[in-house]
Amino acid sequence: MVLMTMIARVTDGLPLSASVQDDQQQHGVGYTEYQNQAKMLFKKLNNQSFSRSTIETGPYNFHYMIENGVCYLVLTEKSFSKRLAFSFLEDLQNEFNSRHGSKVNSVNRPYSFIEFDTYIQKAKKSYMDSRARRNLSSLNSELQDVQRIMVQNIDDVLPFSSPKTALNVKASRSEKQDD
């Protein structure tokens, strides 16, 4: 699950936009600690930093990508797919760059593009919904596999019972003939 998303300028670490998971906002579950870690990370990044990276932090992972002097960062549970996290970041990068790319270097105030949170929330919901659909599809596939296994097991059992039945019939006939 995507817990927090932040976007910052690489040259000075200035936060440009952010979004937090709704239940974290309500409960304040460690949000400040991870937000502070993200801000410190932004301060350490520069143009020579890896363009994509994953950083472990307690039970979570930070995934980030740097494009055109902007760092896109997401905090996820460790079980969340890295591929999906970077796909999410690429989506944000494309949209943010098309909306605000030309203005990034001219802003001086933190969170100048906070209205981008609306898009982040929509993208997050879309990625969570598609993940849920994939999970449901995977579950259905597993169920079908289990059903096929059960049918195969029955098919495996039936041929063995048929010869036994035939043997029983032959045995019955021989008993009757002996009588």
- 129-168 pLDDT per residue, tens: 766 656 656 656 666 665 555 544 555 555 555 555 554 5
> Which tokens go with 153?
């097991």
**Is residue 25 pLDDT above 50, yes or no?**
no
- Decide if pLDDT at 174 tops 90: no
Structure tokens at 12: 């000075």
End-to-end CA distance of the chain: 77
Report which secondary-structure segment, H or E, holds 81. none
pLDDT at residue 129, as a whole number: 72
Are 89 and 8 within 8 A, CB to CB? no
Which contacts of 80-85 are long-range, i.e. CB under 8 A and separated by 24 or more positions?
Answer: 80/1, 80/2, 81/131, 82/54, 84/127, 84/131, 85/2, 85/54, 85/61
Q: Give yes or no for residue 27 having a pLDDT over 50.
A: no
Q: Which residues partner with 147 through β-bridges?
A: none
**Average pLDDT rounded to a whole number, residues 53-77:** 94
Please tell me the distance from the alpha carbon of residue 81 to that of residue 37, in angstroms, as a whole number. Answer: 21
Write down the mean pLDDT value for the chain: 80
Residue-level pLDDT at 111: 94
The span from the CA of 144 to the CA of 150, in Å, is 10
Local structure of 19: helix, strand or coil: strand
> pTM above the 0.95 mark?
no
CA dihedral sign, ordered 122, 126, 127, 131 = positive
Q: Which helix (H) or strand (E) holds 29?
A: none
Q: Does residue 67 carry a pLDDT above 60?
A: yes
Taking a C-beta distance cutoff of 8 angstroms, is the pair 65, 8 a contact? no
Q: How confident is the model at residue 1 (pLDDT cuts 50, 70, 90)?
A: confident
Q: How confident is the model at residue 26 (pLDDT cuts 50, 70, 90)?
A: very low
Determine the Cα–Cα distance for residues 156 and 179; give it in Å rounded to an integer.
36
- Which domains does the chain show, CATH number per domain? 2-135 (3.30.450.50)
**pLDDT value at residue 71:** 97
Residue 143: predicted pLDDT: 60
2-6, 43-47, 96-100, 152-156: which has the minimum mean pLDDT? 152-156
Q: What is the mean pLDDT of residues 161-178?
A: 51
